[in-house]
Amino acid sequence: MRKPVTYADVREAFEPDGSWRDLYAFETTEVEWRKFLKAALESDWPTELRVNDQTTDQIEKVLATNRDAENSASLSIDVSGATLMCYFFDDEEVKLDMVPEEINDANFKALLEFIALMANSVNRNIYVTEESSPTRGIFAHEVETSATMLISRPPEPTELSRRIAQSLHPFASRLRKRRRPLQHSKNNIAPDAITQRLFELSDEDAAATIEEWNLNPVHKPNRIEYHTQLTEREFRTLSELDMNIRGLAWTCDSGQQTEINEVGASSSRIEFWSRLELACRAFGIPTRED
């Protein structure tokens, strides 16, 4: 059985930051809007409908503004001291705004009750999110189970995680470009292990075969540089780490991202491992084989 969401669970997400918090019901039509407005007007919470700044109780007149750019409508609901505002822009989603400063331990239960009423009226899950950010969810009410649950959120990027992402992104990128050893015909002389390994580590667009790669006038690491490349174990460790850092790329501006994408995996093994172990400790990933 899920533990009900409490104000303590979301207190940090409702800290005042100059922005609003939103309530969403997605994939709606005028039918759901009509049901929601009827439920809101019949509830015990003080509710006011306005069209062109004039109070009204005519739901159809309000809904007509969704298709009329010359008229506007709004809905305000007082939920135990928290004012929820709704503006009518389209039929495809029901969206309400609230000021986070007005949500507190005393009225959070009332907010959950209103969200449940909203969910039941439109028969949709309701998502509480950051302002104008449907993908940045805080918690949700599931209409089928009548359960309110926290939404798992990725950790906010820190300066350390930004540096980790910038340092290791080139190595992670090479993982996605790595290719498997190719089968060679009997007439071809099998390449030595180092040549084979260097070919596997090369970019896919450099050459299709080892023979073509050998003839290509691109830079080819020598045998000393080969020993600074990644081992199989490093590949496995980095693959797991990449799952954690890939989502941090958006924290870099476009200039940084360009620099990251252009850097090659040419750091020394000592430098690489110092970065890798730091990152793995930060994300709780083991760096040694069992």
Looking at residue 166, its pLDDT comes to 54
DSSP the chain: -PPPP-HHHHTGGGS--S--EEEEEES--HHHHHHHHHHHHHSSS-EEEEETTEEE--HHHHHHGGG-TT--EEEEEEETTEEEEEE-S-SSEEEEEE-GGG--TTTHHHHHHHHHHHHHHHTS-EEEEETTEEEEEEEEEETTTTEEEEPP-PPPP-HHHHHHHHHHHHHHHHHHH--PPPP--TTSPPPPHHHHHHHHHS-TTT-SSHHHHHHS-S----HHHHTTS--HHHHHHHHHHHHHHGGGGGGS-HHHHHHHHH--S---HHHHHHHHHHHHHHHT---S--
Task: Tell me if the domain spanning 7-150 has CATH number 3.30.310.
Answer: yes
> Greater confidence, 232 or 25?
25
pLDDT in tens, 233-263: 555 555 555 554 444 444 444 554 444 344 3
Residue 223 pLDDT exceeds 50: no
* Residue ranges matching CATH 3.30.310 in the chain: 7-150
pLDDT in tens, 159-197: 544 555 555 555 444 443 433 333 333 444 445 554 555
> Greater confidence, 127 or 170?
127
Mean of the pLDDT values across residues 28-50? 95
Looking at residue 271, its pLDDT comes to 43
Looking at residue 159, its pLDDT comes to 52
Q: Which pLDDT band holds residue 74 (cuts at 50, 70, 90)?
A: very high
Average pLDDT for the chain? 70
Looking at residue 209, its pLDDT comes to 65
Looking at residue 121, its pLDDT comes to 98
Mean of the pLDDT values across residues 41-63? 93
Mean of the pLDDT values across residues 129-133? 84
